[in-house]
Amino acid sequence: MASTEDTKRNREEVRRLIAGVDDALAASLLRGALDLHVHSGPSTMPRQLDHLEAAEEAAAAGMRALLFKDHHYSVAPFIPLMERVLGDRGLAMYSGLVLNNSTGGFNPFVVDAQLKMGAKLIWMPTAQAANHIRSAHRKVRLASNVELKNSPALSVVDGYGNILDEVKQILDMIAEFDVILSSGHLHVWEIWRLFEEAKKRGVKRLLINHPMYGLHFTYDDIRDLAAMGALVEQSAGMYVDSRFNAYSPQELKEHILAAGVAHSSIGSDLGQVDNPTPVEGMRQAIKLCLALGFSEAEVRAMVSDNPARLVGLAD
């Protein structure tokens, strides 16, 4: 994990590396890309652009799809309205539900309603996960509960390590609707138990977000969960010229190679104030991957092909 001085050096190194990458090449790889981790607003946390602005910027760059994420409400019911406004731009738009206390926690009735309103992804708890609350102690980068009333810490397992019955119900719904299950900000040990149960129940689309940040993964965990069929998403904001930078460029390469390009994707995880926009973050990530030696085909797989397969747009 980067200290303040490490972050400064990382950002300087990123600027140096991406300066040598052709802008036209990066723009061509951004066209058709999908960003499945957009933090636009409105939100309980300050955002530099709203959902419509994020979609307009992505459409102007020729991107194929965005998936909007908020820790405390679902954008899914608003997608049809946004499609009515921006439906002629060629941009697919999705959202889903994060199972924090602020959205009902492990409430199957809330999940059922959201799935029937078009939710494409169900995240396990993030800002109110027990692991997140422990990992965020004395840290500033992880989304926190500071804006909301304190709430119980959430875990998908009971005291014996067994998956909760209500979580099993939710997994059955995810399988029935064939949508994406994200591990959220659970501890890696919980994720193993969750994904094993999900596979038993017929869940086909598994997603891990920023495994090396706050989730306590090892490289072996990344490799083995990817082999189980999970797509491992790296957050651009943690590697590019961003105030959320936590890792060096070389660590980005290592984190991707731990899963393998075939099981990796990149999402911006951006939209916060004083950071690059989601589109700019994706552009920088594309340039950085090229500078690190990934081929055009490998970068396209991570920003286009693999996330398209996850959301069902592979064809």
pLDDT value at residue 145? 45
Closest C-alpha among 151, 103, 143, 150 to residue 126: 143
Structure tokens at 264: 């990796």
Compute the distance between CA of residue 298 and CA of residue 224 in angstroms, rounded to an integer: 20
Taken as a whole, the chain contains a residue count of 315
Per residue in 35-52, pLDDT (tens digit) is 999 999 999 999 999 999
The count of other CB atoms within 10 Å of the CB of residue 56 is 17
Compute the distance between CA of residue 252 and CA of residue 173 in angstroms, rounded to an integer: 34
Q: Tell me the average pLDDT of the chain.
A: 95
Q: Is the dihedral of CA 46, 50, 54, 60 positive or negative?
A: negative
pLDDT value at residue 2? 74
At which residue do the structure tokens 């209500």 appear?
166
The better pLDDT of the pair 150, 82 is held by 82
pLDDT value at residue 62? 98
Beta carbons of 49 and 80 less than 8 angstroms apart: no
Per residue in 212-250, pLDDT (tens digit) is 999 999 999 999 999 999 999 999 999 999 999 999 999
Q: Side-chain half-sphere of 98: how many Cα atoms within 13 Å?
A: 24
Closest C-alpha among 42, 50, 39 to residue 142: 39
pLDDT value at residue 151? 81
pTM for the model: 0.96
pLDDT value at residue 55? 98
pLDDT at 138 over 80: no
pLDDT at 14 over 50: yes
Q: Report the chain's C-alpha Rg in angstroms.
A: 18
